[in-house]
Amino acid sequence: MRIDDLNRTPLTQGADKTDQAAQKRALEQKTTTADGVDQAEVSELARGLSPKDPQRLEQLRLDVESGKYDVSAEAVAKAIIGEHLKD
């Protein structure tokens, strides 16, 4: 005796709906000015994430690339625990 699941839908149908939803979201998020140039808006939260000292950040980047940047595991662990305890 064979029993079929009549409520089962093909997997491709779900994928099509997902693709359509993603395309719709992408179109809604994209803002275009009157002259056809793309434009993006940066939230206050994102602005707060910008580095406070760009020169320090550049120096860290160079140190990491050259292999000179070394942080002890103990220092990293203390920083993580300290941040967790602040909350």
Predicted confidence (pLDDT) at residue 66 exceeds the cutoff of 80:
yes
Q: How far apart are CA 10 and CA 3, in angstroms?
A: 17
For residues 61 and 46, which has the higher predicted lDDT (pLDDT)?
A: 61
Please write the tens of the pLDDT for every residue from 24-52.
666 666 555 556 778 878 787 777 777 78
Q: How far apart are CA 19 and CA 22, in angstroms?
A: 5
- Of 69, 49, 48, residue with least CA distance to 59: 69
- Per-residue pLDDT band for 76 (boundaries 50, 70, 90) equals very high
Q: So what's the pLDDT on residue 75?
A: 94
Q: What is the 3-state secondary structure (H, E, C) of the chain?
A: CCCCCCCCCCHHHHHHHHHHHHHHHHHHHCEECCCCCEECCCCHHHHHCCCCCHHHHHHHHHHHHHCCCCCCHHHHHHHHHHHHHHC
